[in-house]
Amino acid sequence: MQHQKLATIEDVAAIAGVSIATVSRAINEPTKVADETRRRVTEAIAQTGYTTNAMARSLRMRRSNMILILAPDVGDPNFSNILVGLETEASKRGYGVLIGNTQNDPAREADYLRFISSNQADGLILFTGHLPYGYGNDAGESRLPPMVAVNEPVSNSDVPFVGVDNFEGSRIAAEHLISQGHRRIAFIGRSTSKAVNILREKGYRAALEGHGIAIDPRLILDGDGTTESGRAATEHMFVRDVLPTAFLCVNDVTALGVIIALTARRYELPRQFSVMGFDDITFASFVSPSLTTMKQPRLKIGEEAMDLLLALLQGKSVERKQVLLRSELIVRNSVGQVGR
C-alpha cells in the first residue's frame, strides 16, 4: 500500500506515442525534440503525474545531486545561519543537502564518507577545519571529492575556503576600541593551532602596532573559544592583577564568559570595562549589556560556498582558493569611552 506503482518513463512514452528516449530528451533537452512531440509528452507527464526516479537517474549519470555537509556540532551558533545559505543556494540549483553531525568523532567522520564512496553525495562542505578521517585507509586510494571549507579553513591543504576576513575584521574591531580611547586592550582567545584564532590575534596586533601601542604579552590570554575559557581568562587577569580597560575576544561566546566574570565581580559595563566579541551570534543582542561585535555575513558565506562547490563539481577550475568576505562592525552597548 505504500507504493502504488509510480508512473515510469515508459508509461509516459506509451501515452504520448513515442519512445522513452524521446521522453527523456523532451525533459532534459527540450530543444532537441519537435514542438508537437514535446507538447504531447508534456501532456502525458501531467496526465500520469510522472516524476523522474532520482535513483535510476543517479545510477545512470553517476551523480546524485546531493551535497554532504560535515559539521562537528550542528548546535553551533554559527552553523545554522550558514546552513541556511548553503541550503538556499543548493536548492535553487536543484541540489539537496545531507547533514552529517560528526561531533569531532573520527569514527563518525569516517562513517559519513560512505555517502561519498557510495555515490550518494557528489561534494562536501567542511565545517570541521580538517580533512575527514578515513581517507586513504585500507584500499589506499584516497579519493577526495570536490569540497569547500567554511567556518574554519582546512589547515595545510589547498581546500578552497569561504569565510570572513578574520585578520581585517579583528583589526577593525581593535581600531574601534582604540577610537574609544582604549590603550590597554586585552586579547582573549589565543591559540597556536586554530587558524581563526591566530588570524584574529594578528589583526589585533596589527591595529595596536599601527597606533604605536606597545603589545603587552600579559594582556594576551589563551582560550579555546568557549564561554568557560573567557570566564577563566578574565579571572586569571584579576588574580595576576594585570588589567586592561577593554577586552577584545576571539568570538562572542568567549565574550559572554568575560561578561559573566566581570558581572560576577560587580563591575558595571561598559563604564568600568569594555568588551567586544566577534561573529554576532543570535544572543549577542540579548545579553546584557548587548554586545558590540563584528558581524559575519553568514547567509552570504553559505551561498558563496555552495556556489563555489557547484562550480567545482562542474569541473570548473577554481582560480580563487579563498573567498574572503567583509565583516561588519555592529555597535551595541558593551563598549564605552575609556574613563567615561
Partner DNA sequence: TCTGCCTGTGTAAACCTTTACATCAATCAT
Partner DNA sequence: ATGATTGATGTAAAGGTTTACACAGGCAGA
Question: Which residues form the interface with a second copy (CB under 8 A)?
Answer: 2-4, 6, 46-49, 51-56, 58-59, 62, 64, 66, 74-75, 77, 79-81, 83-84, 87-88, 91, 96-101, 108, 111, 114-115, 117-120, 138-141, 143, 145-146, 227, 256, 260, 263, 282-283, 286-288, 315
43 touching DNA, by CB under 7 A: no
Binding-site partner at residue 143 among DNA, a second copy, none, CB < 5 to 8 Å by type: a second copy
Residue 287 interacting partner from DNA, a second copy, none (CB closer than 5 to 8 Å by kind): a second copy
Helix or strand run (H / E) with residue 333: none
Q: What are phi and psi of 335, to 5 degrees?
A: -125, 130
Cα separation, 50 vs 8, in Å, equals 6
CA distances from 338 to 48, 150, 179, 183, 290 (A): 73, 36, 10, 9, 18
Is residue 233 within 8 A of residue 325, CB to CB? The reply is: no
Nearest to 69 by CA among 14, 6, 4, 149: 149
For residue 17, give the DSSP letter: T
22 contacts which partner out of DNA, a second copy, none, CB within 5 to 8 A by kind?
A: DNA
- Contact by Cβ (8 Å): 120, 98: yes
337 binds, among a second copy, DNA, none (CB under 5 to 8 A by kind): none
We find the least distance from the C-beta atom of residue 41 to DNA, in angstroms, to be: 9
Select the residue interacting with DNA from 30, 47, 53, 155 (CB under 7 A). Answer: 53
Q: Give the other-Cβ count within 10 Å of 29's Cβ.
A: 9
Grid cell locating 159? 581546500
- Contact indicator for 88, 111 with CB cutoff of 8 Å: no
Nearer to a second copy by Cβ, of 117 and 272: the residue is 117
Choose from a second copy, DNA, none: what does 117 bind? Cβ within 5-8 Å by kind: a second copy
**Binding segment toward DNA, per CB under 7 A, in 33-41, 230-238, 256-264, 277-285:** 33-41
- Can residue 315 be called a binding residue for DNA (CB under 7 A)? no
Is 313 strand, coil or helix? helix
Q: Using the minimum distance from each CB to DNA, give the nearer residue, 143 or 271.
A: 143
Vertex 279, ends 202 and 76: CA angle to 5°?
115
Nearer to a second copy, 53 or 104 (CB): 53
Q: Contact, 156 vs 130, CB < 8 A?
A: no
Residue 64 or residue 245: which is nearer to a second copy going by CB? 64
CB of 306 to DNA, least distance (A): 23
Give the whole-angstrom CA distance, residue 122 versus residue 126. Answer: 13
Q: Which does residue 87 touch among a second copy, DNA, none (CB within 5 to 8 A, set by kind)? A: a second copy
Interface positions with DNA (CB under 7 A): 6, 8-10, 17-22, 24-25, 27-28, 32-34, 36-37, 50-53, 56-57, 59-62
